[in-house]
C-alpha cells in the first residue's frame, strides 16, 4: 500500500525551518513538515513566576494552539468557547516538558521563555513539528539573550541538549514515519517520539486506540522514530549554522 504522497515508509516529508520569520519575537521560526506549518515564537522576559522566585532557576513553558481554519473544517476558537480543550492542554504540556529537557535552567538564571506554537496549517504531526521548530526558536532566543548581555552563562551551557520529535504509526501492519493527516486517522497505533540530538529519549507516547500493540511493534516504532529524529537533528543544525 503506497503512501498518499509516494514516500518510503521511513521517509520524512520535506522539512524546512525559516528563522526570523516575524520580526518582533526573540526567536521566530516557521517550521514546515510538508503541509503542516507551525509558527514557533520564543518570548523572553526577565524574572520568573512567583512560585519560582529566589530559586536561581529559570523557566521555560509552551502554549500550543491552532488557527480556526488550519484544518479541513473550521473549529470554534477556544477564546470564544472561553476554555481550552483537553487536547490543547495535553499538547502544550508535552511541548513544554520536551523543551525544558534542552535547557539547563540554572544556567538560564531567573529568566522566563514562553514558546508559542501556533498551527497555521495542519496536515498531521503538528505537535512534533512544533517541538522541532520550537527548539530552533528557543536557541535563537537564548542567543539573543547572550548578545544582549542578559545571560550569565554561555549559550552552549544553557542549551545543553537539542530536541526534535516525530510521529510514527502502524498502518495495516506497516510501521511508517511522519504520518500525514490522511494516514493519521486510519493508523492502528500512533506514537510520538521525542529524542535528544545525542539519540536519547525524552518522551515516548504510544497509543493504540484503534488496536493494541505488542512488544515487537513497539520496538519497530521506537527504531523508526529515533532514526527520524536523527535526521531532524541534522536539519536543525543546518538551520542554526
Q: Which is nearer to a second copy, 119 or 151 (CB)?
A: 119
Please name which of 182, 189, 238, 177 lies closest in space to residue 215, comparing C-alpha atoms: 189
> Could you tell me the smallest distance in angstroms from the CB atom of residue 241 to a second copy?
24
Residue 103 DSSP symbol: B
- Three-state secondary structure call for residue 106: helix
Q: Is 154 helix (H, G, I), strand (E, B) or coil?
A: coil
**What's the burial of 94, exposed, middle or buried (CB within 10 Å: 0-12/13-18/19+)?**
buried
Q: How many CB atoms lie within 10 A of CB 31?
A: 30
Q: CA 34 to CA 177: how far, in whole Å? A: 13
Question: For a second copy, which stretch binds (CB under 8 A), given 10-18, 22-30, 127-135, 228-236?
Answer: 22-30
Nearer to a second copy, 86 or 173 (CB): 86
CB of 3 to a second copy, least distance (A): 18
Please answer whether residues 138 and 112 qualify as being in contact, where contact means their C-beta atoms are separated by less than 8 angstroms.
Answer: no
Which residue among 5, 10, 110, 203 contacts a second copy (CB under 8 A)?
203
Residue 219 Cβ, how far from a second copy at the closest point, in Å? 8
Provide the mask over 80-119, with x wherever binding to a second copy is found by CB under 8 A and - wherever it is not: xxxxxxxxxxx-xx---x--xx------------x-x-x-
Stretch that binds a second copy, among 11-19, 120-128, 150-158, 165-173 (CB under 8 A): 120-128
| 28 lies in the binding site for a second copy (CB under 8 A) | yes
Any binding-site annotation on 125?
A: yes
**Is 87 marked as a binding-site residue?**
yes
> Of residues 36, 162, 196, 236, which one binds a second copy by CB under 8 A?
196
Assess 201 for contact with a second copy (CB under 8 A): yes
Backbone angles phi, psi at 163, to 5 degrees: -130, 150
**Residue 114 CB coordination number (10 Å):** 17
* 3-state secondary structure (DSSP) of residue 67: coil
**CB closer to a second copy out of 8 and 90:** 90
Beta partners for residue 177, in sequence order: 168
Q: How far apart are CA 121 and CA 184, in angstroms?
A: 16
**Judged by CB under 8 A, does residue 218 bind a second copy?**
yes
Q: Is the dihedral of CA 63, 67, 70, 73 positive or negative?
A: positive
Known binding site: residues? 87, 125-127
Known binding site for phosphate: residues? 87, 125-127
Contact positions vs a second copy (CB under 8 A): 22-25, 28, 35, 37, 39, 41, 43, 45, 63, 65, 67-74, 77-90, 92-93, 97, 100-101, 114, 116, 118, 120-122, 161, 191, 196, 199-209, 212-215, 218, 222, 226
Amino acid at each position: 500500500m503506497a503512501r498518499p504522497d509516494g514516500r518510503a515508509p521511513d521517509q520524512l516529508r520535506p522539512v524546512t525551518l525559516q528563522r526570523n520569520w516575524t520580526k518582533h519575537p526573540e526567536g521566530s521560526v516557521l517550521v514546515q513538515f510538508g503541509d503542516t506549518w507551525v509558527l514557533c515564537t520564543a518570548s523572553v522576559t526577565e524574572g520568573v513566576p512567583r512560585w519560582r522566585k529566589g530559586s536561581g532557576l529559570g523557566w521555560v513553558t509552551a502554549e500550543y494552539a491552532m488557527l480556526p481554519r488550519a484544518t479541513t473544517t473550521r473549529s470554534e476558537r477556544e477564546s470564544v468557547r472561553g476554555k481550552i480543550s483537553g487536547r490543547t492542554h495535553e499538547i502544550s504540556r508535552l511541548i513544554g516538558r520536551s523543551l525544558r529537557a534542552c535547557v539547563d535552567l540554572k544556567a538560564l538564571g531567573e529568566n522566563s521563555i514562553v514558546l508559542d506554537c501556533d498551527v497555521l496549517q495542519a496536515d498531521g504531526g503538528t505537535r512534533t513539528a512544533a517541538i522541532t521548530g520550537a527548539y530552533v526558536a528557543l536557541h535563537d532566543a537564548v542567543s539573543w539573550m547572550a548578545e544582549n548581555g542578559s545571560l550569565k552563562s554561555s549559550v552552549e551551557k544553557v542549551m545543553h541538549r537539542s530536541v526534535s520529535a516525530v510521529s510514527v504509526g502502524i498502518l495495516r501492519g506497516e510501521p511508517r514515519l511522519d504520518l500525514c493527516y490522511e494516514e493519521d486517522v486510519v493508523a492502528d497505533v500512533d506514537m510520538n517520539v521525542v529524542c535528544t540530538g545525542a539519540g536519547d529519549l525524552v518522551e515516548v507516547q504510544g497509543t493504540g486506540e484503534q488496536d493494541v500493540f505488542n512488544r515487537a511493534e513497539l520496538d519497530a516504532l521506537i527504531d523508526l522514530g529515533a532514526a527520524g529524529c536523527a535526521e531532524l537533528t541534522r536539519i536543525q543544525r543546518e538551520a542554526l549554522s
